[in-house]
Amino acid sequence: MIKQKIKYLNVYTDRHGKRRVYVRRFKHSRQTEIKAPLNSTEFFIEYAEAIATQERLADKPQGVGSYDSVDWLFKQFFASPEFAEYAPDSKKGKRNRAVHILAAKPRGHDETFGEIDYTLLRRSHMYQLRAFAFEEGATEEKDGAPGKANNWIKDVSAVFTWACKFGVAPDHFQNPCVGLGKLKEGSGYHTWTQEQCQQFEDYWPVGTMPRLAYEIIRNTGARVSDAHRLGKVHEKDGVLTWKVFKGQDVGDAQKRDDDDALEVIIPIRSELRTAIDATPSGNLLYVATSHGAPFQSAKGFSQWFVDQRKSAGLPDECVPHGLGKTTAAKLAEAGVGEFMLMSVMGWTNPNQARKYIEKASRAKMAGRAIEMLDEEQK
C-alpha cells in the first residue's frame, strides 16, 4: 500500500483492482479524482487545481445541504427524473420519512444522519441508523419497530443505489445497506373477525355508501388505492377487471404505463352485486362522497372509511387493509392455491399467498388432529 505523505490525499485500490487517487481539502468538500500518475508533474498540477477549486467553494455552508452530505444526496435524488416516476403517494411517503431519517441522531453521533458525509458511511453506520429507527418505532402501531426500521433502510438504500447507478456518487462508493438484511416483522394489519364483520353489516345496511365500500373491499380484496376508484367502467359480464393502481391518486391514474401494472380479474359475488345495485352512486365510480364526487386520494377514502367504522363501534384495529386480509384468509381456508390467491389479491410475490395458505393448512391440521384424538378416546 502506498504511504500517503501528501496532505488531503486518499489513495486506494478499487474493487476492479485499479488504483484511485482523490483529494479532499475540507471534510465537507466534494472529493476530486486525480487521474495523472502519482507524483508526476501532471499530478501536482491537477492536485493544485483541485485544492484551489475546493478552497474557493469553502464558503459553501457545511453540514446539512453541503456537498457529499446525506442531506445533499437526498435532495439530488428528489430532484431527479427517476424519482419523478414514482407514484404520488410513494413520493409523499418517501419525502415524509426522509425528514425523520435526516434529522435522526444515532447513538454515539454528535451530528445528524443528514450531516454525515455519505461517502464515509459503512455498514456499521446503517446498523446504528436502523437501531435508532427501531427504538423510535417501538411504541408505534401496526408494523411498529421492525417495520419502521426496515422502511428507513429501504429508503436510504434506494437513494444510494440510485447515486451509484447514475454516477452521482464517486466510483469507489458502495451502498453500505447491501447485505444488511431485514428485521422480521409482525403480521401487520389486524384481520377482521367474523363478529366484527357482522357488527359493521348490522350498523350499515345494504344501500348505504359505507356498506358498499365494505362489500367492495371484502369481496374483492382490493387495496384502498384500488377500491375507491372502481366503478362501472371496470365491470363487464359480471366480472370486475382493473389494473392495480397502488400509490396513485385519481388524477394520476393514467400516468403509469398500463402494461407495467398488474391486472386483477374477479367475478362479482352476489353480496357485492346486491350492494352495487342498491346504492346510489356516481356516474362512473361506485363509491362517492356525500356530495356525489369521487374521493381524490386513497388516504382520503381510508380516513372516511375509518370514520364509518368508528360509527359502527368497532375498535381502532379494524382498518380497511385488514378487511382485505379477511378475504385472503377465507380464500386460503377454502383451499385455493397460491397462484389463484395471488391472482385474486393482485399480489406479485408468492410469499404473501404462501403465508395465508400455510396458516389455513395449520389450522385444518390442528382441527383434524383434535378430531382424531376425540375419536381415539371414545
What are 244-293's pLDDT values in tens digits?
A: 765 444 344 333 434 556 778 888 889 999 999 999 876 678 998 888 88
Which of 268-282, 287-301, 357-371 has the weakest average pLDDT? Answer: 357-371
Q: What local confidence, expressed as pLDDT, does residue 339 receive?
A: 73
**Same domain membership, residue 354 and residue 209:** yes
Rounded CA gap, 302 and 308, in Å?
A: 10
176: its cell numbers: 453500505
Q: Are residues 203 and 288 in the same domain?
A: yes
Confidence of residue 18 (pLDDT cuts 50, 70, 90): confident
pLDDT, the chain, mean: 79
262, 276, 374 from 88: Cα distances, Å = 18, 29, 56
Residue 175 inside a domain? The answer is no
Residue 33 lies in a domain: yes
pLDDT value, residue 141: 44
pLDDT of 348 reads 62
Do 256 and 302 belong together in one domain?
yes
Residue 243 lies in a domain: yes
- Rounded-to-10 torsion of CA 220, 221, 223, 227: 30
The reported pLDDT for the residue numbered 182 is 85
**Structural contact between residues 216 and 286, judged by C-beta atoms closer than 8 angstroms:** yes
Same domain, 135 and 217: no
Confidence band for 101, pLDDT divided at 50, 70 and 90:
very high
Angle 306-328-153 (CA atoms, 0-180°, nearest 5)? 70
Residue 94 sits in the same domain as residue 149: yes
For the segment 1-10, what is each residue's pLDDT rounded down to a tens digit?
Answer: 445 568 888 8
Burial class (CB in 10 A: 0-12, 13-18, 19+), 90: middle
> Are 53 and 135 within one domain?
no
Question: Closest by alpha carbon to 76, among 165, 172, 207?
Answer: 165
360 domain-assigned: yes
Over residues 171-230, the pLDDT tens digits come to 888 999 998 888 877 656 788 888 999 999 999 999 999 999 999 998 888 888 889 889
Strand blocks (E) in the chain = 9-13, 19-23, 32-33, 235-236, 239-243, 263-267
What is the total count of domains within the chain?
3
In-domain check, residue 361: yes
The CA distance from 338 to 328, in Å, is 10
Lowest mean pLDDT among 55-69, 71-85, 363-377: 55-69
Name the more confident of 61 and 51: 51
> Residue 257 has what pLDDT?
39
Claim to verify: residue 330 and residue 309 sit in the same structural domain: yes
Quick check: is 293 in a domain? yes
372 lies in some domain: no
Q: Is there a single domain that holds both residue 346 and residue 206? A: yes
Residues 139 and 271 in one domain: no
Residues 328 and 223 in one domain: yes
CATH number at residue 236: 1.10.443.10
Its domain, for residue 112, covers: 70-165
C-alpha 361/C-alpha 355 separation (Å) is 10
CA distances from 86 to 74, 76, 223, 264 (A): 15, 15, 18, 21
Q: Judge whether 121 lies within some domain.
A: yes
Residue in this structure with the C-alpha cell 345494504, named with its chain if needed:
206
> Does residue 78 share a domain with residue 49?
no
Residues 109 and 53 reside in one and the same domain: no
